[in-house]
Chain A
Amino acid sequence: MASNRKYWKSVEELDENNSVVETLKQNEFVEEIPVDEFLGDKENLQNSSTSRRDFLKYVGFSTAAATLVACEGPVKKAIPYVVQPEQIRPGVANYYATTIADGFDFASVLVKTREGRPIKIEANGDASFMGSPNARVNASVLSLYDKMRVQGPKSGGEYISWDDLDQKVIAGLNAAKASGKQIVLLTQTYASPSTNKLIAEFAEKYGNVKHVQYDAISENAALEAFAAKYGKRALADYDFSKADLIVSFAADFLGDWHGGGFDTGYAAKRIPTNGKMSRHIQFEANMSLSGANADKRVPLKPTQQKVALAKLYGYLSGASVSGDLPEQADEAVKAAAAQLRKVGKNAVVITGIDDVDAQLLVLKINELLGSVVSDVKSPRLLRQGNTAAVTQLIQDMKAGRVGALITSGVNPLYTLHDAAGFAEGLNSVGLSVAFSMKEDETAIAAQYIAAAPHYLESWGDVEMKQGHYSLMQPAIRPLFDTRQLQDALLKWLGEDKTYYDYIKAYWEDDVLGGQSWNKALHDGVFVAATATVTNVETSSTSENEAEEITATTTDINAAVRRLASATGSDFELTLYPKTGMGDGQQANNPWLQEFPDPITRVSWDNYITVSRADADALGFSNRHVANGGLNGSYANITVNGVTIEKVPVLIQPGQARGSIGLSFGYGKKEGLKSEMQVGVNAYKLYENFNAVQAVTIEKAAGEHEFACVQLHNTLMGRGDIVKETTLEIFNTKDAAEWNIAPVVSLNHQEVEASNANLWNDFDTSIGHHFNLAIDLNACTGCGACVIACHAENNVPVVGKDEIRKSRDMHWLRIDRYYSSEDTFGEDNVMKDELPKGAKDTFLELEIAAENPQVAFQPVMCQHCNHAPCETVCPVAATSHGRQGQNHMAYNRCVGTRYCANNCPYKVRRFNWFLYNNNDEFDYHMNDDLGRMVLNPDVVVRSRGVMEKCSLCIQMTQKTILDAKREGRAVRKDEFQTACSAACGSGAMVFGDVNNEEDTVVALKQDDRMYHLLEHIGTKPNVFYQVKVRNTEEA
């Protein structure tokens, strides 16, 4: 039946007189398309001798020609040395021992060089102190090949010669000397005895010279406290391998507290041996690495931490200490005090509170305990910064009392709270020279930029811990026209020798005590036999000053009173260095920018961390958007009149209520590629060098797009992924009870999953069979392995946008899980009981607890013996090796990504783009300089192929070849992967399970051993050790 309903598309159609509608009925477009206009005039076209056919001929010919040309292979040139250095053999790596000392990171390392290029940083096994590099030190090799480095001395934006600079500077110095003004050397902490001597000589020549040391992130309170008690500006050292009990008040000793490097000792005591392990109690505001690893973590606002510390002293000494503390926290402090008393000398109390009283108190408590963990006799020297001197310097500069300012290794215009004051003062300085690797904020403001070399191009010596010396030697000729401060000082002193001569002479006279210089240089480290002797002297001198001692004891009581009466504001901000970025020196390092923070799993950003309760109260939210990215609110935060606008907000489980955290190192603008200019500058809020500030927060408009690599934060009761138990259960019960083997149904009978088998087993009994053991107890989540893997395997950097789309390329990730109840154990119970029906329970389980337990789990390709990926590859690009490795032939891969879909562990990574030589990804692989860091033994993958962890097959193959060539069996524990070699805590152990000598064999037979997702029957070659927590309260 016909309908006379009229359908219309727009209101205009209803108007009968509308001409446009009428035209559109006939034509596609209202107006005629002006074809002639873009075809030019007709006549010309018609007269043209090129017909359409000719045109097609040309096209055809040029296509064919281009195709033919493309068939010809490129001519490759090979250029040998003219005179080959004896120690270099092309294709064979050389290792040199050196030391990083950039003012923030200190470590004795080995540098792997290939054909004279440093390509990787490794641990120096000979070092007794700071021998295992952290993530930033591992990444520092890439900063050597930074395109943004200053390539020579500069003045007013123009390159000048060193001779020119020398002339001007010497003139300037002499002028300053003549005018009687100060000459100030503002440097990083060098902890270098020879540099100290050199600066003293420099002072002798130029008279009024002041050496001001400046740490961007200050440890001034701890230094002052130590100086007051022991008479030396230094930091107490702690050997956590002797600790049975660690009570920490906001000291992130697994991070960068006191210069870091405590993980090795800590982890040694965390692995339960003979039924014993250490207990770790952490009182803190931000969720730090240390807090995440603690057995008991008590979230407390910074002011409450002070009170808690005072109370702890009270409980220990028996004195009554007043002060407000939440009841739960008070209980925790009481319990901690009881345990401290019980454990006695094997216990230690540490604190990271930026307060001299707190630091003094902790020293006192350790003294009372007679702690063997704390070492005050040969203290750490790797933080020397003096905040009072820096403040004085700014005043002096402003008053025009400074004639010349030489900065080295510092960037005060970025890292100072009072950067404006410093900039103002700089204008009235007669001569300013900045030794810098980058044209950073300070270098630009200085009159002269003295291009400084990277530590891999420099000489140096470092006394990180009293009596423990290490040497820095260049591993490559300077890439640019650079000169280090010490060489320049020698030049300005009119000396002819180089800093190398100077160090050598100094060491031979004052350090080595007759030992061989060459051996010290080879080892990279030297422990002085006389170290203890000088200690006795220093301690005896302090004893002589009895007055001072009594002064300090009376001080203690006053300090406790001051601490106990600490009052805070509604919100307290704690500034902290992020694991990846530290103090921000290496902000232009794409590896570090892309490194996901171990706690928040966010890369390419800093943000304020807020507790859920506070977020709800202030209206902040975090949500996941359709592409899987995490979005968060913005906040404006104000500290004492200084406001930072639009700081992204991240809701952090475990953050103490009423506190927020913000990391240093971001928001830098100068000397960085635009991609790296991310985050906000937290130094602006670092007033009086105090990491804790009273803050006001308000919500700002807009939403921030985070690049977060982990979308699910809780374990959701999946206790078979991270298996956990308590020390008590571990000691008293059978392994079958706490390390439950999963069962599956086979022929309608329940059998252990390892006995059900769909496949024919590979014969792995002959030859090598590699396994990787990961001890969840020892893993602190530090992430050194992630960067080591980056460096070893040429893993590309993909940038913030791609990370946000979950296209990160890390072969090795460290999953971080929170518990949704107070402990993981309770999660399991909750999941099993299902009180409200499955859906609701699981939704609830997705929300992390206010103070959750945390677990870290490094996950890389599990190298399954029955690999799901292998069976689905249509082109057999991934296949099984007899040595237990799951191989990936990139050139065979066609990029179907079936394997990634079928991988239960989600460890396969797809190259969505060409990440090298591509301007869209302007990171290190896009320039010749940055590409020098690539490992020549591993191919750089191209677009459209899958890649994944190979268990460093290039390293295992090399080990085998070395053994074959030398005609010997492979030695015990000789097999290593990049991650296992980089793991300072000993959590990752790699080896050959067919070689009974290897450590990994015992680990595989250990009761704590389990495989990830064992019930799916993949039989992985990577296995984990059940995490054990020491929950014994007293």
Chain B
Amino acid sequence: MKEVIHRNSVSRILSIGLAILLAFSTTLFGQEGDPDRGKQLFNSNCAACHKLDQRMTGPALAGITKERDREWLHAWIKNNVALRKSGDPDAIAIFEEFNGAAMNTFPQLSEQDIDDILAYTENPPAPAVAPQGEAAGQAVAVESSGISNEVVLVALILVFGMLVVMLVLVNKALKNIAQAKGVELPGEGEARLPLWKAFAKNQFLVLVSVIFLLLVSAYFVYGYLMQVGVDQGYEPVQPIHFSHRIHAGDNEIDCKYCHSSARVSKTSGIPSLNVCMNCHKNIMEVAPETATAEHSKAFYDGEIQKLYEAVGWDVQNQAYTGETKPVKWVKIHNLPDFVYFNHSQHVTVAGLECQKCHGPIEEMEVVSQYSPLTMGWCVECHRTTDVRMEGNEYYEKIHEELSKKYGVEKLTAAQMGALECGKCHY
């Protein structure tokens, strides 16, 4: 848990820094308690530990002005340590209630700033509806495009139907005319050989078509057999609905922040839950705008609760209970045992983007296997990809010699020997 504390303190230092910046950049408005400005200040200074409606590291702050004396609040926020030292019983009580978690001091906040924040806690501005509208608009747009496609289809069917009807009518009319004119229609009455019998009689044609059929079925059978064990597109349901779209896409968290062992190890590593808690200790719910048509905010919040349950985090008391339920993720990318693959070779040495093999992970709500992970796919890349050698002392000598041998400046992985069986199979 050392790391968690460490990260927390980093975020604290950052927030203090931000606060200092803000304090020096903002000018006083002279207005009594501006909730909008208070929201800004709250988010930059207080949100790391406080929420309006929920206990976090510190108490919930909605309606705090009703519970506490405003002057006391000012003193507490400015310098709670001094207040506690002065022996204020309330201050000591609150300190003890939260397990001695010391609150930062905010000497940089002016009286006005504090009033603004308190105004925000009294009556928070109504949540913006714009994003919801936007989302709704998007949904409508998607729907309307769906409708237009259907309309086109229906119209086309109608047109084709009309054409068929017209053809039948024309045919009927022509027959009638012929009858009326006494023209004898050809073929009628004469027993013509049915088509299939004629086909059966032509042995050459039969032979050719049998061969053709065999070839076609062989093609499909081969195709079918070759995809046995290839799980491209495998998209299992995971015990916790973890959205890479939100984390890697919207929040632009670096892949290797969570999958850190990809840098040094053969496995990319499924992050341990303490890595999740680095952020989720403070992020207990998603922003309303995160919700999509498919998954509501409540759904996402519920998934975060699953994390807390797994890691044994008591949200009320902001403490670990020690009761853990390790998450049994379903492994998506399964290489057979007889293949050795090393992430760090590709990530650190070659400097490949994760997306090269894993696809647009940052857009995936649920991760699926993007690449076929077949040997052909590996080999193809090794044949065509140049090895990144610049600035790597390891490659200096071999690059010099090999480029002379092959007469090229850049060397592909294959030329380095990456197609040899034993490089991956041992």
Which positions in A face B, CB cutoff 8 Å? Answer: 71, 73, 75-84, 86, 89-92, 763, 765-767, 877, 879, 881-883, 885, 887-892, 937-940, 950, 953-954, 957, 960-961, 963-965, 967-970
Interface pairs (30), CB distance under 8 Å: A75-B236, A78-B330, A80-B271, A82-B274, A82-B326, A83-B273, A84-B272, A84-B274, A86-B2, A89-B265, A90-B265, A91-B261, A91-B266, A91-B267, A881-B423, A883-B417, A887-B426, A888-B422, A888-B425, A892-B425, A939-B425, A939-B426, A957-B423, A961-B349, A964-B394, A964-B395, A965-B264, A965-B344, A968-B394, A969-B396
Q: A78-B331, A887-B420, A890-B425 are in contact. Are A969 and B326 (CB under 8 A)?
A: no
Contact: A73 with B426, CB < 8 Å? Answer: no
Q: A82-B272, A883-B417, A967-B393 are in contact. Are A90 and B425 (CB under 8 A)?
A: no
Q: Which residue of B lies closest to A84 (CB)?
A: B272
Contact: B334 with A73, CB < 8 Å? Answer: yes
B contact residues around A91 at 8 Å (CB): 261, 265-267, 269
Instruction: Give the distance to chain B from A292, nearest Cβ to Cβ, in Å.
Output: 34
Contact: B392 with A964, CB < 8 Å? Answer: yes
B contact residues around A885 at 8 Å (CB): 422
Contact: B426 with A953, CB < 8 Å? Answer: yes
Instruction: Give the distance to chain A from B37, nearest Cβ to Cβ, in Å.
Output: 40
Docked complex Cα distance between A883 and B416 (Å): 11
Contact: B264 with A954, CB < 8 Å? Answer: no
Q: Which residue of A lies closest to B334 (CB)?
A: A76
B contact residues around A879 at 8 Å (CB): 420-422
Residue B92 interfacial (CB < 8 Å) = no
B contact residues around A963 at 8 Å (CB): 394
Contact: B273 with A887, CB < 8 Å? Answer: no
B contact residues around A968 at 8 Å (CB): 393-394
Q: Which residue of B lies closest to A951 (CB)?
A: B422
Contact: B425 with A76, CB < 8 Å? Answer: no
13 more contacts with CB within 8 A, not counting A891-B425, A954-B340, are A76-B330, A81-B273, A91-B265, A763-B405, A881-B421, A883-B417, A888-B426, A889-B422, A890-B425, A961-B344, A961-B345, A968-B393, A969-B397
Q: Which residue of A lies closest to B311 (CB)?
A: A82
Q: Which residue of B lies closest to A961 (CB)?
A: B345
Question: B364-383 interface mask toward A, CB cutoff 8 Å, 1 = contact, 0 = none?
Answer: 00000000000000000000
Q: A90-B265, A91-B267 are in contact. Are A80 and B338 (CB under 8 A)?
A: no
Q: A961-B345, A967-B393 are in contact. Are A950 and B422 (CB under 8 A)?
A: yes
Which 5 residue pairs are nearest across A and B when measured between Cβ atoms? A887-B422, A91-B265, A84-B272, A81-B272, A889-B421
Docked complex Cα distance between A968 and B274 (Å): 34
Question: B319-340 interface mask toward A, CB cutoff 8 Å, 1 = contact, 0 = none?
Answer: 0000010111111001011101
For A76, A91, A889, the residue with the greatest tally of chain B CB atoms inside 10 Å of its CB is A91
B contact residues around A83 at 8 Å (CB): 1, 272-274
Interface of A is mostly: loop
Contact: A939 with B273, CB < 8 Å? Answer: no
Docked complex Cα distance between A961 and B394 (Å): 10
Docked complex Cα distance between A9 and B324 (Å): 81
Instruction: Give the distance to chain B from A500, nearest Cβ to Cβ, in Å.
Output: 21
Q: A965-B349, A967-B394 are in contact. Are A77 and B426 (CB under 8 A)?
A: no
Q: Which residue of B lies closest to A966 (CB)?
A: B394
Contact: A80 with B394, CB < 8 Å? Answer: no
Contact: A961 with B342, CB < 8 Å? Answer: yes
Q: A89-B261, A887-B421 are in contact. Are A77 and B397 (CB under 8 A)?
A: no
A contact residues around B394 at 8 Å (CB): 960, 963-964, 967-970
A contact residues around B352 at 8 Å (CB): none
Residue B169 interfacial (CB < 8 Å) = no
Docked complex Cα distance between A877 and B393 (Å): 34
A contact residues around B274 at 8 Å (CB): 81-84
B contact residues around A766 at 8 Å (CB): 398, 401-402, 405
Residue B3 interfacial (CB < 8 Å) = yes
Contact: B269 with A80, CB < 8 Å? Answer: yes
Interface of B is mostly: loop
Docked complex Cα distance between A887 and B336 (Å): 18
Q: A73-B334, A82-B326 are in contact. Are A964 and B345 (CB under 8 A)?
A: yes
Question: B382-426 interface mask toward A, CB cutoff 8 Å, 1 = contact, 0 = none?
Answer: 000000000111111110011001000000000001001111011
Contact: B327 with A80, CB < 8 Å? Answer: yes
A contact residues around B396 at 8 Å (CB): 969
Residue B229 interfacial (CB < 8 Å) = yes
Contact: A92 with B261, CB < 8 Å? Answer: yes
Contact: A73 with B231, CB < 8 Å? Answer: yes
B contact residues around A89 at 8 Å (CB): 261, 264-265, 269
Contact: A937 with B340, CB < 8 Å? Answer: yes
Q: Which residue of B lies closest to A937 (CB)?
A: B340
Contact: A882 with B420, CB < 8 Å? Answer: yes
Instruction: Give the distance to chain B from A862, nearest Cβ to Cβ, in Å.
Output: 16
B contact residues around A888 at 8 Å (CB): 421-422, 425-426
Q: Which residue of A lies closest to B398 (CB)?
A: A767
Instruction: Give the distance to chain A from B265, nearest Cβ to Cβ, in Å.
Output: 3
Question: B253-286 interface mask toward A, CB cutoff 8 Å, 1 = contact, 0 = none?
Answer: 0000000010011110111111100000000000
Docked complex Cα distance between A940 and B310 (Å): 34
Docked complex Cα distance between A883 and B398 (Å): 12
Docked complex Cα distance between A970 and B275 (Å): 34
Q: Which residue of A lies closest to B231 (CB)?
A: A73
Docked complex Cα distance between A190 and B210 (Å): 83
Q: A76-B334, A77-B331 are in contact. Are A92 and B420 (CB under 8 A)?
A: no
For A79, A80, A763, A891, the residue with the greatest tally of chain B CB atoms inside 10 Å of its CB is A80
Instruction: Give the distance to chain B from A666, nearest Cβ to Cβ, in Å.
Output: 36
Docked complex Cα distance between A964 and B426 (Å): 20
Residue B185 interfacial (CB < 8 Å) = no
The listed residue (B271, B328, B397, B420) touching A79 by CB distance below 8 A is: B328
Contact: A891 with B349, CB < 8 Å? Answer: no
Residue B152 interfacial (CB < 8 Å) = no
Residue B209 interfacial (CB < 8 Å) = no
Residue B287 interfacial (CB < 8 Å) = no
A contact residues around B349 at 8 Å (CB): 961, 964-965
Instruction: Give the distance to chain A from B231, nearest Cβ to Cβ, in Å.
Output: 6
B contact residues around A964 at 8 Å (CB): 345, 349, 392, 394-395
Residue B110 interfacial (CB < 8 Å) = no
Q: Which residue of B lies closest to A763 (CB)?
A: B405
Residue B228 interfacial (CB < 8 Å) = yes
Docked complex Cα distance between A81 and B274 (Å): 8
Q: Which residue of A lies closest to B426 (CB)?
A: A953
Q: Which residue of A lies closest to B387 (CB)?
A: A964
Q: Which residue of A lies closest to B310 (CB)?
A: A82
Contact: B3 with A77, CB < 8 Å? Answer: no
B contact residues around A969 at 8 Å (CB): 393-394, 396-397
Docked complex Cα distance between A966 and B229 (Å): 36
Docked complex Cα distance between A86 and B260 (Å): 12
Docked complex Cα distance between A939 and B338 (Å): 5
Q: Which residue of A lies closest to B405 (CB)?
A: A766
In chain B, residues 219-242, which have Cβ atoms closer than 8 Å to a Cβ of chain A? Answer: 228-229, 231, 236
Residue B348 interfacial (CB < 8 Å) = yes
Instruction: Give the distance to chain B from A83, nearest Cβ to Cβ, in Å.
Output: 4
Docked complex Cα distance between A937 and B339 (Å): 10
Q: Which residue of B lies closest to A76 (CB)?
A: B331
A contact residues around B272 at 8 Å (CB): 80-84
Instruction: Give the distance to chain B from A978, nearest Cβ to Cβ, in Å.
Output: 13
Contact: A967 with B391, CB < 8 Å? Answer: yes
A contact residues around B267 at 8 Å (CB): 90-91
Instruction: Give the distance to chain A from B6, nearest Cβ to Cβ, in Å.
Output: 11
A contact residues around B405 at 8 Å (CB): 763, 766
Instruction: Give the distance to chain A from B323, nearest Cβ to Cβ, in Å.
Output: 10
A contact residues around B312 at 8 Å (CB): 82
Docked complex Cα distance between A714 and B333 (Å): 54
Docked complex Cα distance between A104 and B311 (Å): 45
The listed residue (B231, B270, B334, B401) touching A80 by CB distance below 8 A is: B270
A contact residues around B337 at 8 Å (CB): 939-940
Contact: B273 with A881, CB < 8 Å? Answer: no
For B311, B348, B394, B395, the residue with the greatest tally of chain A CB atoms inside 10 Å of its CB is B394
